[in-house]
Chains A and B, each alone.
Chain A
Amino acid sequence: MRAMVFSEKGELAAQIATILRERYEIDIYTTSDSPLDSYGAKVVFRITGESLYVDNISNFLADRFKEKGYDFIAIGSSVMGREIASILSELLHLEAITEIMKLEEGNQVFITERFFFGGKTVIREESKARIFTFLPGLVDPMPVDSRSSKEEIKIDSPSTVNVVEKIEKPKGSVNLEKADIIVSAGRGIGKKEGLGIIQQLADILHGEVGGSRPVCLDYHWLSEERQVGLSGKRVKPKIYIAVGISGQVQHIAGMRGSKTVIAINKDKNAPIFNECDYGIVGDLYTVIPKLIENLKK
């Protein structure tokens, strides 16, 4: 079988290629300009164009899919990736399954696994779907010795949507997915200044600071790239310390891969205490300074 891989993010395309190349012949399509010729694809097609948007990219990919007779489409799961998957599903009359973390082959069907009920469960399904979006961070991209051939393709057809402006988000250089130790702050810190002791604890442990969605997205106390959870980063550190985080399913979905989880929360009924190895019930402004003091000894 032959797979068409698409992602606008080079890193994600490389991850999917690493997952699929043993089992399938793959071509990569991307709008990213990162070099992708060492991840086992037969051809890497770089898509360029004046007005690239999900509509004209989807039209192009649909035509390509038919023309080249690929068997299925593997897309990087992102805002854009999921939109493209849904449009392709209409254009090609094929079912799509988004946000998968596993793809196996059954008898005439694919078997997929993905989160369900907001991350509370993992649903395993078989289907005739032929379009999939893959969660980021399932594997580390691994280069191979051989090189793919490269081709550039220009999309000329205009989009119906007009891109007016690009606004960069404040960016650090944190790579939470690779961190060994993460100290994450939740709404329970109450104020931005609360991050001070969170950072101190992280520093002592040589770890990174992460956060729940309210802290990163609603209050902007931390940059968005530090958000852990279903719609943020999926992390798998050796130690994950959740401070003032209640433990809603969407947050747990992002840190379930952690080896050891430590929770600090003043509410002893907080759901996070069901998802931790060690828990301390108490006010974080009492617990953390004591913890820092003890670790400094």
Chain B
Amino acid sequence: MYNIVVCFKQILDIDQMKIDEKTQEPITKNLPYRLEDLSKNAIEEAVRIKEKYGGKVIGITFGGDQATLGMKEALAMGVDEGIIIKGYRENNPELTSEVLAKKISTLKYDIIITGNASADSYTGLVPGKLARKLNIPILGNAIKLELHENTARITRSMEDVNYVVESRLPVLITVEQEINEPRLPPLIQIMAAGRKPMKIEEMQIQIQSSKKVISNKAPKSDRKRIIFEDIDKGVEEVSKFLRSEVK
């Protein structure tokens, strides 16, 4: 029986994000939110641990107004209890890690699971800071996870080599996309999710980041965009180009 805490966040749906042609800035108005990619893998892994070894999964998100939607999805995937902490505004790892640490330190936990890095900001700072604040070891970038009594063992995927590493619980584990395929909960579970406990809390913590955004624009794409729908014509033109470039 393990007490598992999974941290997840929502992001703007970057796949649907369009760029304003004039300003080169992203258009975020009316863009829907969705669960962040690796957060989903984190939820999936937490639920699998529970299913395999027994235990309870608490899901935590430090989010904005849309957080209930994301939480419902997590509950439908198999998370048992949800805690939403309101007040998230922007990507600020200092604040996010402090808020999560404060909350988690009031809970009983053996394992904390997070994504390795967020799909939108790709900062990857929250897990390490959180582990440090809670003073527990971090097992990072797991593509495989096993528990054995009081020990967690993961396969840690690095750029050119993998390691099998282990540590005693409690521990924070970050997951990589490869670790699992997040489930799509059936309708009946989505309905049932509404009956699971979900707390919405506020926390009074003020941590200002010193970061100021100077600009956030799409890199200029000067691509020619010559598209051929006639395959033979396309093959001929592309071959001509390739022949002129490759000697």
- For residue B123, give the distance in angstroms from its CB to the closest CB of chain A: 5
Contact with A along B137-168 (1 / 0, CB 8 A): 11111000000000001011111111111111
Q: From residue 86 to 124 of chain B, which have CB atoms closer than 8 A to chain A? A: 93-94, 116-117, 119-124
- Tell me whether B210 and A121 are in contact (CB under 8 A): no
Q: Is the interface of B mostly helix, strand, loop or mixed?
A: mixed
Tell me, yes or no, whether B125 is within 8 Å of chain A by CB.
Answer: yes
- In the complex formed, the residue of B with least CB distance to A248 is B15
- Tell me whether A120 and B218 are in contact (CB under 8 A): yes
Which residue from B12, B15, B121, B225 sits with its C-beta under 8 Å from A276? B225
What residues of B have a CB within 8 angstroms of the CB of A236 in the complex?
none
Stretch at the interface among B44-52, B57-65, B182-190, B238-246: B238-246
- Tell me whether B246 and A181 are in contact (CB under 8 A): yes
- In the complex formed, the residue of A with least CB distance to B238 is A278
- For residue A192, give the distance in angstroms from its CB to the closest CB of chain B: 17
- In the complex formed, the residue of A with least CB distance to B159 is A78
- Tell me whether B164 and A295 are in contact (CB under 8 A): no
C-alpha gap A168/B159 in the complex (Å):
10
Q: Knowing A111-B214, A206-B246 are in contact, say whether A169-B161 is a contact too (CB < 8 A).
A: yes
Which residue from A82, A95, A123, A161 sits with its C-beta under 8 Å from B213? A123
Contact with A along B220-247 (1 / 0, CB 8 A): 0101111111011011111101110110
Inter-chain residue pair count (beta carbon < 8 A): 240
- Tell me whether B164 and A167 are in contact (CB under 8 A): yes
- Tell me whether B245 and A278 are in contact (CB under 8 A): no
- In the complex formed, the residue of B with least CB distance to A133 is B124
Tell me, yes or no, whether A277 is within 8 Å of chain B by CB.
Answer: yes
Tell me, yes or no, whether B133 is within 8 Å of chain A by CB.
Answer: yes
- In the complex formed, the residue of B with least CB distance to A165 is B164
What residues of B have a CB within 8 angstroms of the CB of A109 in the complex?
210
C-alpha gap A280/B163 in the complex (Å):
42
- Tell me whether B241 and A278 are in contact (CB under 8 A): yes
Tell me, yes or no, whether B22 is within 8 Å of chain A by CB.
Answer: no
C-alpha gap A96/B211 in the complex (Å):
10
| 29 A-B pairs whose Cβ atoms sit less than 8 Å apart in the complex | A9-B159, A55-B138, A82-B117, A83-B127, A83-B128, A86-B128, A86-B132, A87-B129, A95-B211, A97-B123, A97-B211, A98-B122, A98-B123, A117-B12, A124-B214, A126-B211, A127-B211, A161-B165, A161-B167, A162-B165, A163-B163, A166-B161, A169-B161, A217-B178, A239-B245, A262-B238, A275-B223, A278-B237, A280-B231
Point out residues on A near B: beta carbons under 8 Å. 9, 53-55, 78-80, 82-87, 89-91, 95-99, 109, 111, 115-129, 160-169, 171, 181, 205-206, 213, 217-218, 225, 230, 238-239, 248-250, 256, 260-262, 268, 273-282, 286-287, 290-291, 294-295
Point out residues on B near A: beta carbons under 8 Å. 12, 14-15, 17, 19, 25-26, 93-94, 116-117, 119-129, 131-133, 137-141, 153, 155-168, 177-178, 209-219, 221, 223-229, 231-232, 234-239, 241-243, 245-246
